[in-house]
Amino acid sequence: MEKTYNNDAAVAATNLTKIFRDFWRRPKKLAVDDVSFSIRRGEVFGLLGPNGSGKSTTIKMLLGLLRPTSGNVSLFGMSPEKRQVREKVGYMPELSHFHLYLTPRETLRYYAGLFNIPARDAEEKIAYLLDKTNMTEAGDRPLGEFSKGMARRVGLAQALLNDPELIILDEPTSGLDPIGRHDVKELIKELAAADKTVLLSSHLLAEVEDVCDRVVILCDGHIGAEGSLSELLEKRDLVRMTADTAYEEQITSVKHDIEKDGGKVLLDRPAMTLEEYFLEIVKQEQKGESSK
Amino acid sequence: MICMFSNVRRYLKSLFSITGATALEGMQQPVTFLLVFTCLELTVLQPMLQLHTLGEGGRLTRDSGLAFMLVFGIFIALFTSGFTLSKEISGGTAAAAVSKPVTRSTFITGKFLGALTVIACFAFCQTFAILFAERCSEHYIETKQFAGYIKDTGCGIAAIAVPAAALVLAAFMNWWKRWRFGLWFFLLLMAAQAMLFFVLGFFARDGKLLSPANYEFAMNFRIISAAILILMLLMVFVSLATAFSTRLHTGAALAVSFAVFFAGFIADSVFGGGNYIARSIYALLPDVQHFWVVDSLAAGGSIPIIYVARVTLYAVTYSLFVLLLGAISFETRDLS
Amino acid sequence: MRRQIGAIFVLGVRSALRSRLVMALFVLLIFITSGIKGDGTAAGELRMQLTWTLGTAFAVLSAASLWIGCSTLAADIETGRHTGTAVSPVPPAFVWIGRWLAIVTVNVLLLAFVMVLLFIKLRTGAFTAGETAVSRLLEIDPQSIEQMALNDYNSAAEQGLIPPGISGEEVLELILKDLRTSYISVDPEVWVAWHFMLEKGDSLQPVRLKFSFVSPLGASGGVEGYCEVRNEEEEVVAQLALGEDDIGSVELYIPAGELGDDASAFTVVFQNTADPETGTGVLVHHMESVKAYVPSGGMALNMLKCWFALSAMFALLAAIGVTCGSMFSFPVAAFVSTAIVCVLLLGQGSSFEEGMEAKTVHGAHENKTPTLLTEALNKTSGKIYSTVNALMEPYTEVKALDRLGDSIAIDMRLVGKCVFWTAIVQPFIFGAFGSYVLRRREFVFK
């Protein structure tokens, strides 16, 4: 039967179901259960869920690595297995498996070959990506000597090598230090600004919250919630006001007025997140200034 | 005293646990099943296919069966010990195991014993297969009514059917009750072969049913000594593969184990009678010739028990020595 | 396409060169090449160097081609390293070709290394030019055998020996097969002839003849007769009397130019001169008993041809390995591919068996009645063997190692055929299947 695809969306998953079967072809595990969503072009989309919720299986189906038991997947209106589609997609897997004896530069050259990028363009692109992922200095060391975080950076660089229109990042910040995580988030924002479509899978909610426009939350293989972050997170019956401490008296007066009417007001001092504080300290250290 | 007893108990418990897990994993490997099944079927099919035996059908069958046992055993040992251990070390499973209150030497010993368990089960089944095949092969029979060569086709067909039946039953139980296929294939196979062994005693070579008073196995039990020697040789090989896997990657470990083993084949002729360097090399290599004495079984000959005992002692000592080196090597390597 | 296959090829070669396995192979090959001693004679050492050394190196590298072929894709798929390639716009066929080419290249280069080492060893060794000279085997005129078959058929037809229900063509075919494959007995006062064809220029070269026979007393000797060579004008140009001391075989030389400047054929005749009352027949073979050689090229060219033929086999083995590696995990792939190779070897074994059987004088078979089961099994295995034989024929008919060891020129035409079928067509079939599997297969990894 001929499949139909949605041409407007970068990614369209329709009634996607994946059942893993045993040797006798009996259902062993229902990994993804009737999942439908679409990602618009230029959108940063989050695929959230706890471990074992079906995020990676969904991504593998989107990439054509696994075949759906039922349902449809289309990328840019075509089957994900089409060569034209694969040329437009960059994928960073959850675990970066590379040939350990190759250096990052050699690894990227290999992938450049696979994407048929001319040698000169490839060298320029590789230099740019190594710089972008802070790997320039380590570019000629064998990957076998790298930490997990450094290998993830190489994984990210290879995902961006073909200048993809759709970037699929499976747990992109796993194994990265806070600076690396921050860099990845910045990179995602840059990609979004460049009108690229980004599909981000993660169970670290803070980072998703910072960068994603819309999310799908998977629970046990089916969709628990879907929508834009503002729709999902906004508490519509509450209002928050933040002001300088110079206006503390006026604020206290407003608080009294509201309480007089029977309303409830919570006043507190906003705190930095630990990540923001950590980044500030590291930046100061790097500038040679002591934060003591 | 109580403390020491408790330590020994804890040690044995962790050792058995690793041994059991390794044996189970070895039996569950699809390639183990494929190798065992192919080896058994080839062994029992061989006498059925012989046309030109020149009166040596029994010897051909016996020699082929024991050769199959050695060759297939080496491959089973390679995959269950060398391949699995290398993968566990590179994949981090070994690191996870030794982070528990398990010493590295216990881990290596457990791995060795686990692989040896698989090999022993295989040797058990293959010995039965050779006994059946030898009984099936062409023999000269002289009775009042008949004199000439005869094949025990019934025994041959039963021996071919037994592994197939174990396969079908294990597959059925896997489908029905989700029993572990590899493990149950082995268990059912051993049980079925033991049953066939006793049932065959009720039948003469020409297929006639015997009365209980005339019950006889009509099998060449001298094969068992040769099979034990080959099992010992396989034990030496398992120890080599285990020891080399502690340091080398899968492919290299397998290649080096094989090379040392091959060197053992020519050790006697190349290094046996040379100067002290040659003799030292000879002492370090396993002398494989000690274990392959199947020619002794020809023309009604047998392998003396004392010889089997001495070679077993040599194999155990050599394996322990190799395992000790492997344990020392494993103690000093980084697990990341 | 070139860049995509090139990237996978370079990665494959690189990973092979950096793996300890290939380094171990390299050391092993040096050991094999340097460690061989002959039997004390120049001919014996030459033969040992060429057949044993090359044979062992070929066996080791064949195993390497097969099993590295299995591991290269299987391991990458299992560990997830293949993911990046699988999601790239590279067709599975290119992945297969790149991997296959890499394995073949590494093994072919290792074989070339062994051959160069061996060549240097032979050049620097104490061999004379004559000892390392290569000869070409002259072909027996097929028409002469066909004529013999026709004569036998006519004689049988005249005597009414042809049974009804069988066509004349079938009978003729059977007689021809019998002549080509069976020994015949040359009784006292009977002679037998072999007709050889000469290529242009051969008549100006010296010809060496080797006549092999089975004498009535077997290895203990004892044959009375003579062997002579006649040119196209039926003039005897060389003759050798055979006596009690000639056991199994004799050699005969025709000096250069003796056959005539433009000769295109010659005949070798063996006459049994034993007493018809007391003497017995001598067993000879129409195709195998007389071998005629003329000088043809040098050792280097022959080694190069041998290298091509052996490399073709690596190509086939690597194709089997990579295809199995694309289907199964490494251990299962190694098992399946080894089983396939065993079947191929059994096929060669059966051709040997058939040959042996053909060389056996009729009536010497053991008299046995096969059971229904053995008959069915034999029929099935016979079918498998004949199919496998046909598949392997382009490689086996070159007899590269045997001919190199015997200093006989390897037929370039057969080498070409071998390379075409064994290194291109058959791997292409495996490649098509492997690519299909890679296309259809799901990649489940952590």
Chain B residues whose CB is inside 8 A of the A23 CB are: 174, 181
The domain that holds A159 is classified in CATH as: 3.40.50.300
Q: Are residues A61 and A193 in the same domain?
A: yes
Q: Are residues A254 and A130 in the same domain?
A: no
Check if the beta carbon of residue C247 is closer than 8 Å to that of residue C272. Answer: no
For residue A201, list its beta bridge partners. Answer: A47, A170
- The C-alpha of C419 sits at a distance from chain A's nearest C-alpha, in angstroms, of 29
- In 3D, which of C434, C440, C442, C441 has the Cα closest to residue C322? C434
Q: Mapping DSSP to helix (H, G, I), strand (E, B) and coil, where does residue B84 land?
A: helix
Residue B55 contacts by C-beta under 8 Å, 6 or more apart in sequence?
B138, B140, B149
Task: Give this complex's ipTM.
Answer: 0.84
Q: Give the mutation candidate from B27, B37, B49 for the C interface (greatest C CB count, under 10 A).
A: B49
Q: Which of C91, C442, C446 minimises the CB distance to A66? A: C442
What pLDDT digit, counting tens, does each position of B246-270 carry? Answer: 888 777 777 788 888 888 887 777 7
CB-CB under 8 Å, A116 with C8: no
pLDDT for C242: 85
User: What confidence tier does B131 reach under pLDDT thresholds 50, 70, 90?
Assistant: very high
Chain A residues whose CB is inside 8 A of the C85 CB are: 114
- In 3D, which of A208, A203, A199, A150 has the Cα closest to residue A175? A150
User: What confidence tier does C352 reach under pLDDT thresholds 50, 70, 90?
Assistant: very low
What pLDDT digit, counting tens, does each position of B134-175 carry? Answer: 998 887 777 777 777 778 888 999 999 999 999 999 999 999
The amino acid that residue C345 corresponds to is L
User: What residues does each domain of chain B span?
Assistant: 17-331
**A145: closest chain B residue by CA:** B336
Q: Mapping DSSP to helix (H, G, I), strand (E, B) and coil, where does residue A3 land?
A: coil
CB-CB under 8 Å, A67 with C442: yes
Structure token pair of residue A9? 């969306």
Chain A residues whose CB is inside 8 A of the C81 CB are: 97-99
The amino acid that residue A256 corresponds to is H
Q: Give the mutation candidate from B90, B172, B177, B178 for the A interface (greatest A CB count, under 10 A).
A: B178
- For residue C297, pLDDT beyond 50: yes
User: What residues does each domain of chain C span?
Assistant: 2-131+299-360+372-440, 136-295
Chain A residues with a Cβ under 8 Å from any Cβ in chain C:
20, 60, 63-67, 83-84, 86-87, 89, 91, 93-95, 97-99, 101-102, 106, 109-116, 158
Range of the domain at A261: 245-286
pLDDT for C359: 40
The backbone torsions φ and ψ at residue A196, rounded to the nearest 5 degrees and listed phi first, read -90, 155
- For residue C444, pLDDT beyond 70: yes
- The C-alpha of C324 sits at a distance from chain A's nearest C-alpha, in angstroms, of 19
**C335: closest chain B residue by CA:** B31
The residue ranges of chain A whose pLDDT is under 70 are 1-7, 274-275, 288-292
What is the average pLDDT value for chain C, to the nearest integer? 84
The backbone torsions φ and ψ at residue C140, rounded to the nearest 5 degrees and listed phi first, read -75, 135
CATH 2.60.40.4070 fits C136-295, yes or no: yes
For chain A, say whether C4 makes contact (Cβ under 8 Å). yes
For chain B, say whether A23 makes contact (Cβ under 8 Å). yes
- State how far the Cα of A106 lies from the Cα of B231, in Å rounded to an integer: 47
User: What confidence tier does B215 reach under pLDDT thresholds 50, 70, 90?
Assistant: confident
- For residue B129, pLDDT beyond 80: yes
Q: Are residues A126 and A206 in the same domain?
A: yes
Q: Which of A65, A95, A106 minimises the CB distance to C442? A: A65
Count the domains in chain A.
2
Check if the beta carbon of residue B282 is closer than 8 Å to that of residue B272. Answer: yes
pLDDT (mean) for B61-74: 93
**C381: closest chain B residue by CA:** B49
Q: Are residues A59 and A178 in the same domain?
A: yes
CB atoms within 10 A of CB B252: 20
pLDDT for C2: 82
Chain C residues whose CB is inside 8 A of the B33 CB are: none
What is the average pLDDT value for chain B, to the nearest integer? 87
Structure token pair of residue C350? 């059966």
Chain A residues whose CB is inside 8 A of the B181 CB are: 23
CB-CB under 8 Å, A99 with C7: no
- For residue C381, pLDDT beyond 80: no
- The C-alpha of A137 sits at a distance from chain C's nearest C-alpha, in angstroms, of 23
Q: Are residues A204 and A115 in the same domain?
A: yes
Helices (H), chain B: 2-28, 30-49, 57-77, 84-91, 93-98, 104-136, 153-177, 181-200, 223-245, 250-271, 276-284, 305-331
Check if the beta carbon of residue B72 is closer than 8 Å to that of residue B155. Answer: no
Which chains touch C (3+ CB pairs under 8 A)?
A: A, B
User: What confidence tier does C349 reach under pLDDT thresholds 50, 70, 90?
Assistant: low
How far from C294 is each of C71, C200, C207, C404, C429, CA to CA, in Å? 46, 12, 5, 15, 39
Angle at which helices B104-136 and B2-28 cross, to 10°: 50
Q: Mapping DSSP to helix (H, G, I), strand (E, B) and coil, where does residue C240 land?
A: strand
- State how far the Cα of B97 lies from the Cα of C427, in Å rounded to an integer: 44
Chain B residues whose CB is inside 8 A of the A24 CB are: 174-175
Chain A residues whose CB is inside 8 A of the B174 CB are: 23-24
What pLDDT digit, counting tens, does each position of A22-61 carry? Answer: 889 889 899 999 999 999 998 999 998 888 889 999 999 9
- In 3D, which of B25, B1, B36 has the Cα closest to residue B128? B36
- The C-alpha of A18 sits at a distance from chain B's nearest C-alpha, in angstroms, of 21
- For residue C356, pLDDT beyond 50: no
Check if the beta carbon of residue C25 is closer than 8 Å to that of residue C114. Answer: no
Q: Mapping DSSP to helix (H, G, I), strand (E, B) and coil, where does residue A46 land?
A: strand
pLDDT for B82: 74
Residue C42 contacts by C-beta under 8 Å, 6 or more apart in sequence?
C126, C127, C128, C131
pLDDT for C37: 61
Check if the beta carbon of residue C81 is closer than 8 Å to that of residue A97. Answer: yes
How far from C233 is each of A195, B83, C258, C264, C267, CA to CA, in Å? 93, 71, 12, 11, 10
CB-CB under 8 Å, C87 with A86: yes
First and final CA of chain C: distance in angstroms? Answer: 30
- State how far the Cα of C90 lies from the Cα of C10, in Å rounded to an integer: 15
pLDDT (mean) for C44-53: 80
CB-CB under 8 Å, C24 with B255: yes
pLDDT for B185: 95
pLDDT for A78: 92
Check if the beta carbon of residue A169 is closer than 8 Å to that of residue A200. Answer: yes
- For residue C97, pLDDT beyond 90: yes
CB-CB under 8 Å, C335 with B34: yes
What pLDDT digit, counting tens, does each position of A103-141 carry? Answer: 999 999 999 999 999 989 999 999 999 998 888 888 899
pLDDT for C367: 47
> What is the three-state SS of B5-62?
HHHHHHHHHHHHHHHHHHHHHHHHCHHHHHHHHHHHHHHHHHHHHCCCCCCCHHHHHH
What pLDDT digit, counting tens, does each position of C235-288 carry? Answer: 888 888 888 777 778 888 888 888 887 888 899 999 988 888 877 888 888 888
* Rg (chain A; Cα; Å): 23
Q: Are residues A277 and A189 in the same domain?
A: no
- State how far the Cα of B210 lies from the Cα of A111, in Å rounded to an integer: 73
Q: Which of A66, A67, A99 minimises the CB distance to C15? A: A99
- State how far the Cα of A14 lies from the Cα of A5, in Å rounded to an integer: 9
pLDDT for A234: 72
What pLDDT digit, counting tens, does each position of C368-379 carry? Answer: 555 676 677 777
Q: How far is CA B168 from the centre of its chain?
A: 23
The amino acid that residue A226 corresponds to is E
Residue A164 contacts by C-beta under 8 Å, 6 or more apart in sequence?
A88, A89, A90, A196
- For residue C93, pLDDT beyond 90: yes
pLDDT for C16: 80
* Rg (chain B; Cα; Å): 22
Chain B residues whose CB is inside 8 A of the C331 CB are: 29-31, 79, 83
DSSP string, C19-72: SHHHHHHHHHHHHHHHS---SSSHHHHHHIIIIIIHHHHHHHHHHHHHHHHHHH
pLDDT for A151: 87
Q: Is C276 exposed, middle or buried (0-12, 13-18, 19+ CB in 10 A)?
A: exposed
Q: Is C399 exposed, middle or buried (0-12, 13-18, 19+ CB in 10 A)?
A: middle
- The C-alpha of B283 sits at a distance from chain A's nearest C-alpha, in angstroms, of 37
pLDDT (mean) for B115-120: 95
Q: Is C184 exposed, middle or buried (0-12, 13-18, 19+ CB in 10 A)?
A: middle
- State how far the Cα of C247 lies from the Cα of C219, in Å rounded to an integer: 6
